[in-house]
Amino acid sequence: MHVIQIICQVLLVITSLLLILTILMHKGKGGGLSDMFGGGFSSSVASSGVAERNLNRITIAIALIWAVVIVILGIITKLQY
């Protein structure tokens, strides 16, 4: 059980970092924090609709993996005590 818990914890850290990176890569809708962190540069670079849709799909997939790992860790923790 400890091996599965360690694997899940490592996977949680990796998916958390990937989720942060993919969210920050999204095109800003204007006026928010995305403009403060280089929004002017991202608006000058034309991003295609296909790239944005693929980034949305990748972000959703990573978020689902992240959520499943958290549920598994919760179940493992509950079974240990």
Residue 44 pLDDT = 43
Structural domain contains residue 61: yes
Q: Looking at the domain assignment, is residue 63 inside a domain?
A: yes
Say what the pLDDT of residue 80 is. Answer: 87
- Give the pLDDT of residue 30: 62
| pLDDT, greater one: 50 or 68 | 68
The pTM of the full predicted model, rounded to 2 decimals, is 0.74
Domain count for the chain = 1
Condensed to tens digits (0 to 9), the pLDDT of residues 1-59 reads 789 999 999 999 999 999 999 999 987 776 555 556 665 554 444 456 888 899 999 99
CA distances from 50 to 10, 47, 53, 57 (A): 31, 8, 5, 11
Q: pLDDT value at position 26?
A: 85
Q: Which domain holds residue 59?
A: 1-24+51-80
How many CB atoms within 10 Å of residue 17?
Answer: 11
